[in-house]
Amino acid sequence: MKSLDDKVVLVTGGTGSFGKKFAEIVLKEYNPKAIRIFSRGELKQFKMRQLFHNNPKLRFFIGNVRDKERLWRAMKGVDVVVHAAALKQVPACEYNPIEAVRTNIDGAVNVIDTAIDRGVEQVMALSTDKAVYPVNLYGATKLVAEKLFIQANVYSGGKKTKFSVVRYGNVVGSRGSIVPVIKSQKKKGVITLTDERMTRFWITQEQAVHFILNKIEEMKGGEIFIPKLPSMRIVDLIETLAPDCAKKVIGIRPGEKIHETLLSLEEARHSLEFKDHFLIEPEFTFWSLNGFNGEGSKLPEGFEYTSENNKRWLTKEELLKMIGEVHYEE
């Protein structure tokens, strides 16, 4: 795939764990004209610049997705936008709800409007399983953001900008991941657990980046792409990483689910299944003219893709291999 060759790519929230892995893979596997890293923190940008040895193809823009004027300047000449900026820590969003809305929803509107006005060709927004049947504010803001990006294909009208979404589960090694927490608690011999029934979908940052790059290649505008991911019970994860430690059940936290859903019952009715992913088709009257009809399989009535009804479960060996390939964020 050479879809990013000679292109200018902008990554919002680009100094996070996703942005760094995205830049690493794109610089290795493609020949982009430039990758613009758009983020708030000068220290993180300084560290990322050092990490990539001042690669001249990486450009750093200090800015916030809340600031539309700064986005306007940063998107000049941009071909592809990957929107990864978000407030994503569930407790922080619960405690600071207005701030979460301003970044995750208002920021999405700013990205959409600026991309259309600047004539960006493709925008891929990152979402989460927590956007499905949301029980916390973070999930609710990501649900709204999904709707905004999909509907943006109507707003762009005759202009060339196309918008799609990738929705996936928990990322091993991302900021706030449970794996580093378990490793830290292991030193004290006691691992805290909110509920022994809890299950989660798992993906590595590298897998996520490659999936997103593949879907940028395929996107027509309006789809939500969902990778097929393995599940694992949190208690099994703890027993794999800290088999000699005691477990202390502390009760489910505010805004937390026992299981996660990547594809809801209602969404499945207008979705297609492929070998390695699901595709939620937009409910636009014109979609059948441009869509993937004939390429994927319709899902059976009553289908739902949740972390507890998954056909694929991580083995302990697969988990350890996955963890061994990850660099953990501070």
Q: Which two tokens stand for residue 219?
A: 């996107």
Q: How far apart are CA 155 and CA 146, in angstroms?
A: 14
* Whether 130 is catalytic: yes
Q: What pLDDT shows up at residue 228?
A: 97
For 26-84, how does the pLDDT look when each residue is reduced to its tens digit (9 = 90+)? 999 999 999 999 999 999 999 999 999 999 999 999 999 999 999 999 999 999 999 99
C-alpha closest to that of 13 among 1, 23, 28: 23
Instruction: Render the burial of 91-106: b for 16+ CB within 10 Å, e for the rest.
Output: eebeeeeeebbbbbbe
> What is the 3-state secondary structure of 278-323?
EEECCCCCCHHHHCCCCCCEECCCCCCEECCCCCCECCHHHHHHHH
Is 157 exposed, middle or buried (CB count within 10 Å of its CB: 0-12, 13-18, 19+)? exposed
Task: Write the class of the CATH domain 8-169+203-229+261-304.
Answer: alpha beta
Q: What pLDDT shows up at residue 292?
A: 66
Query: Does the pLDDT of residue 318 top 60, yes or no?
Result: yes
Catalytic residue among 88, 130, 162, 215: 130
User: Which residue has 């020949």 as its token pair?
Assistant: 31
The one-letter amino acid code at 28 reads: K
For 226-268, how does the pLDDT look when each residue is reduced to its tens digit (9 = 90+)? 999 999 999 999 999 899 999 999 998 877 899 999 999 999 9
pLDDT, averaged across the chain: 92
Task: Assess contact for 49 and 60: CB atoms under 8 A.
Answer: yes
Q: What pLDDT shows up at residue 176?
A: 65
For 270-290, how does the pLDDT look when each residue is reduced to its tens digit (9 = 90+)? 999 999 999 999 988 777 766
Q: How far apart are CA 46 and CA 18, in angstroms?
A: 17
Average pLDDT score over residue span 135-154: 96
Q: What pLDDT shows up at residue 46?
A: 98
Q: What pLDDT shows up at residue 253?
A: 81
Task: Assess contact for 259 and 304: CB atoms under 8 A.
Answer: no
Q: How far apart are CA 210 and CA 121, in angstroms?
A: 20
Query: Does the pLDDT of residue 149 top 60, yes or no?
Result: yes
C-alpha closest to that of 153 among 264, 2, 289: 289
Q: What pLDDT shows up at residue 330?
A: 47
In sequence order, the 6+-apart residues with CB closer than 8 A to the CB of 98 are none
pLDDT level of residue 291 (50, 70, 90 thresholds) = low
C-alpha closest to that of 217 among 78, 120, 122: 122
pTM of the predicted protein model: 0.94
Q: How far apart are CA 74 and CA 145, in angstroms?
A: 21
Radius of gyration over every alpha carbon of the chain, rounded to an integer in angstroms: 20
